[in-house]
Amino acid sequence: EWFDQRLVWNASDFNGLTTLRLPCSKIWVPDIVLYNSADDYTQGYYQSKAMVDSNGHVFWPPPAKFRSSCKIDVTFFPFDDQLCKLKFGSWIYDAAQVNLTKRRDNVDMTNYIRSGEWHILNIAIKRHDVTYPCCPGIYYPDVTIY
């Protein structure tokens, strides 16, 4: 979610209308992607709608199903533990342009479907500011789920 001053209006000028649902193709949305995606992350991702309040608050819950790759070490199979991660960040915006934050400290497991072959032991969410060799002094935020 974010604030966009270009999307502020006086609700009383529009018969009390306080919220709009706008196609993402008509407004600015951040290019948040799953860096270690095993799929094409663009399919349907930006075709959803964002909820825009008259005060410029934009909430965009993109409908997405994320799949990532995970390096598996089976040295101690069948008693092995694996560490997999989902790393989300902007492809082009740095920390001065997009402040990527985690919305909560835990993961909503409501729709989690258990597997008969493995179990989730722990989940952590961390925000990082990363620099790359191309751009010293410029930080790129990511939120990683471990």
Tell me how many domains the chain contains. 1
Residue 53 CB coordination number (10 Å): 16
**Structural domain containing residue 40:** 2-145
Residue 140 CB coordination number (10 Å): 20
Q: CATH number of the domain that 84 lies in? A: 2.70.170.10
Residue at 77: amino acid letter: F
Q: Cα angle vertex 23, ends 45, 93, to 5°?
A: 55
What phi and psi values does residue 13 have, to the nearest 5 degrees?
Answer: -75, -10
Q: Cα–Cα distance between 30 and 33 in angstroms, integer?
A: 9
List the chain pLDDT tens, one digit each, 146 residues. Answer: 999 999 999 999 999 999 999 999 899 999 888 888 877 755 566 778 999 999 999 999 887 778 888 888 888 888 888 888 999 999 899 999 999 887 777 888 888 888 888 888 889 899 999 999 998 999 999 999 99
- For the beta sheet containing 86-90, the strands, ordered from the edge strand earlier in sequence to the opposite edge, are 32-34, 86-90, 140-145, 125-130
Prediction pTM value: 0.79
